């Protein structure tokens, strides 16, 4: 457990490489299976998914105090009902209507980065991208500008992340530090709760404001049949916070790691710049351009292979099962790590290398590449995330060159998401 706490990526990689595609260990009174073969992963997430629950998993313990019973944390019938209600808002055709929200926010970011470029000031790319994806999500989900909500949605989200970000509790936690973080968490939760409920109430009363595209919230408000399965205010509060929390940090991290890898591989960055120049000729991309920017898309996919923003998925077995010839007792905790699976030497050529073209037209074995999970509980926001990341990357590539500050250390840190432990400090040059 000490190694899982201090160096989780090394620990789980060591398990898989030393003991094989199924391993078992004991941790804090739990029997834990780590699955590292796509067939076994498919069995748990899809084929026999009904036997595996999210209830009482580490994710559940971490997220429920904030998110309540939204899509990410609910299970069974309740989950199925919520997924049905939310699904229309996340269809590819629905998320494409937010392209201008995404590119407007990115242009505002580019303006700030150009100022930093002129002064040769390093940019905390990871933080700035988190601000960008938060703004995009709240504008498109809530139709609200969080910059206008006074003291800062962003700061509250940050306090919450600091609290739940401690994925595995420290061996010897500093009680004062824990108490402070807990206080910050409770204050932030109250703030987020109040704002979310206020926005929902005004949205219910006034409908879509400003003549912009219908927001995800509008779509969700309109998707229930009144009196049958419409979402209550508490359902909506849990859902909206779930979407904000699940959707912004993950997308920001995928972009952060993509920019880092492109800086390390200038020849790939050059190909991307050629693509955006050729396809866009200097104009702002729209959703209609997404299919014409395959190199941008593949760079993001490859970055999420090497640095999956969600690096661990867990489930608990409800009834007995057999996986790959091994008995699984009810209550067993099952873990799948994208970090390990995405580097499986049997399935990937040169797994440590950044090669976006591996996504060109290859048919990957099912459940080998899981940045968005798999089975019925696959990420509902995957189309939104890919559209957003591709548009943001295209605008950044056409506007600026970004390079890591010389000597800045880069090391992944596995918290709730996979973050750069020391941040990502980069210098921009205007193109």
Which among 413, 6, 332, 340 has a CA at the least distance from the CA of 169?
A: 6
Closer CB to ligand HEM, residue 82 or residue 149? 82
Among the listed residues 51, 103, 215, 250, the single contact to ligand HEM using CB under 6 A = 250
Measure Cα distances from 208 to 52, 76, 89, 143, 265 in Å.
39, 32, 14, 8, 44
Residue 287 half-sphere exposure toward CB, CA atoms < 13 A: 17
**At CA 273, angle to CA 269 and CA 277, rounded to 5?**
170
Closer CB to ligand HEM, residue 250 or residue 401? 250
Kindly report the backbone phi and psi dihedral angles of residue 74, in degrees, each rounded to the nearest multiple of 5, phi listed first: -75, 170
Does the footprint of ligand HEM cover residue 220 (CB under 6 A)? no
Smallest gap from residue 257 Cβ to ligand HEM (A):
10
Measure Cα distances from 307 to 192, 253, 346, 352 in Å.
29, 9, 19, 11
The structure tokens listed for 185 are: 């968490």
Does the footprint of ligand HEM cover residue 303 (CB under 6 A)? no
CA-CA-CA-CA torsion for 334, 340, 346, 347, nearest 10 degrees? Answer: 90
- Give, as ranges, the residues between 20 and 79 that touch ligand HEM (CB under 6 A): 71-72
Which among 182, 108, 204, 196 has a CA at the least distance from the CA of 153?
A: 196
Does the footprint of ligand HEM cover residue 143 (CB under 6 A)? no
Among the listed residues 131, 154, 371, 420, the single contact to ligand HEM using CB under 6 A = 371
Closer CB to ligand HEM, residue 219 or residue 242? 242
Write down how long the chain is. Answer: 431
Does the footprint of ligand HEM cover residue 307 (CB under 6 A)? no
Smallest gap from residue 231 Cβ to ligand HEM (A):
14
Does the footprint of ligand HEM cover residue 285 (CB under 6 A)? no
Smallest gap from residue 242 Cβ to ligand HEM (A):
5
CA distance 27 to 171: 13
Measure Cα distances from 211 to 17, 36, 139, 162, 202 in Å.
55, 49, 13, 37, 15
The residue at minimum Cβ distance from ligand HEM is 381
Closer CB to ligand HEM, residue 80 or residue 180? 80
Does the footprint of ligand HEM cover residue 368 (CB under 6 A)? no
Smallest gap from residue 317 Cβ to ligand HEM (A):
15
Among the listed residues 143, 213, 247, 356, the single contact to ligand HEM using CB under 6 A = 247
Among the listed residues 238, 384, 392, 418, the single contact to ligand HEM using CB under 6 A = 384
Does the footprint of ligand HEM cover residue 83 (CB under 6 A)? yes
CA distance 3 to 352: 23
Among the listed residues 41, 67, 243, 414, the single contact to ligand HEM using CB under 6 A = 243
Quick one: which segment of 27-35, 118-126, 175-183, 248-256 binds ligand HEM (CB under 6 A)? 248-256
Does the footprint of ligand HEM cover residue 392 (CB under 6 A)? no
Does the footprint of ligand HEM cover residue 251 (CB under 6 A)? yes
Quick one: which segment of 178-186, 347-355, 370-378, 419-427 binds ligand HEM (CB under 6 A)? 370-378
Smallest gap from residue 274 Cβ to ligand HEM (A):
25
Among the listed residues 254, 256, 390, 398, the single contact to ligand HEM using CB under 6 A = 254
Quick one: which segment of 239-247, 258-266, 339-347, 358-366 binds ligand HEM (CB under 6 A)? 239-247
Closer CB to ligand HEM, residue 122 or residue 294? 294
Quick one: which segment of 121-129, 204-212, 249-257, 402-410 binds ligand HEM (CB under 6 A)? 249-257
Return residues touching ligand HEM (CB under 6 A): 71-72, 83, 137, 242-243, 246-247, 250-251, 254, 309-310, 313, 371-373, 377, 379-381, 384-385
């Amino acid at each position: 457990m000490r190694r899982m706490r201090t160096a989780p990526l090394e620990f789980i990689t060591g398990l898989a490489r030393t003991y094989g595609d199924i391993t078992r260990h004991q941790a804090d009174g739990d029997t834990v299976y780590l699955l590292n073969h796509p067939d076994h992963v498919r069995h748990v997430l899809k084929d026999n998914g009904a036997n595996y629950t999210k209830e009482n998993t580490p994710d559940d313990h971490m997220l429920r105090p904030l998110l309540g019973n939204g899509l990410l944390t609910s299970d069974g019938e309740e989950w199925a009902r919520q997924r049905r209600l939310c699904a229309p808002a996340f269809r590819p055709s629905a998320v494409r209507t937010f392209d201008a929200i995404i590119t407007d926010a990115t242009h505002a970011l580019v303006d700030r980065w150009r100022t930093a470029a002129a002064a040769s000031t390093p940019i905390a790319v990871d933080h700035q991208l988190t601000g960008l994806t938060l703004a995009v999500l709240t504008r498109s989900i809530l139709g609200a500008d969080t910059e206008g909500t006074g003291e800062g949605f962003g700061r509250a989200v940050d306090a919450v992340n600091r609290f739940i970000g401690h994925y595995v509790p420290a061996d010897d936690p500093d009680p004062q530090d824990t108490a402070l973080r807990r206080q910050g968490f409770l204050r932030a939760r109250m703030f987020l709760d109040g704002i979310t409920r206020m926005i929902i109430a005004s949205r219910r009363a006034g409908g879509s404001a400003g003549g912009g595209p219908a927001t995800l919230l509008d779509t969700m408000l309109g998707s229930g049949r009144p009196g049958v399965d419409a979402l209550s205010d508490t359902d909506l509060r849990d859902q909206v916070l779930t979407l904000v929390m699940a959707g912004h940090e993950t997308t920001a991290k995928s972009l952060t790691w993509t920019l880092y890898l492109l800086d390390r591989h200038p020849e790939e960055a050059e190909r991307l710049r050629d693509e955006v120049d050729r396809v866009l000729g200097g104009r702002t991309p729209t959703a209609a351009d997404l299919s014409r920017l395959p190199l941008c898309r593949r760079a993001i996919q490859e970055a999420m292979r090497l640095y999956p923003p969600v690096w661990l998925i867990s489930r608990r077995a409800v009834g007995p099962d057999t996986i790959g010839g091994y008995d699984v007792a009810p209550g067993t905790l099952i873990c799948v790590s994208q970090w390990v699976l995405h580097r499986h030497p049997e399935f990937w050529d040169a797994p440590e290398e950044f090669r976006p073209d591996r996504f060109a037209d290859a048919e990957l074995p099912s459940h080998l590449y899981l940045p968005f999970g798999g089975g019925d509980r696959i990420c509902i926001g995957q189309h939104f995330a890919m559209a957003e990341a591709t548009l943001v990357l295209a605008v950044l590539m056409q506007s600026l060159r970004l390079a890591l500050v010389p000597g800045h250390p880069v090391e992944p840190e596995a918290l709730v998401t996979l973050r750069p432990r020391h941040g990502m400090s980069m210098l921009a040059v205007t193109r």
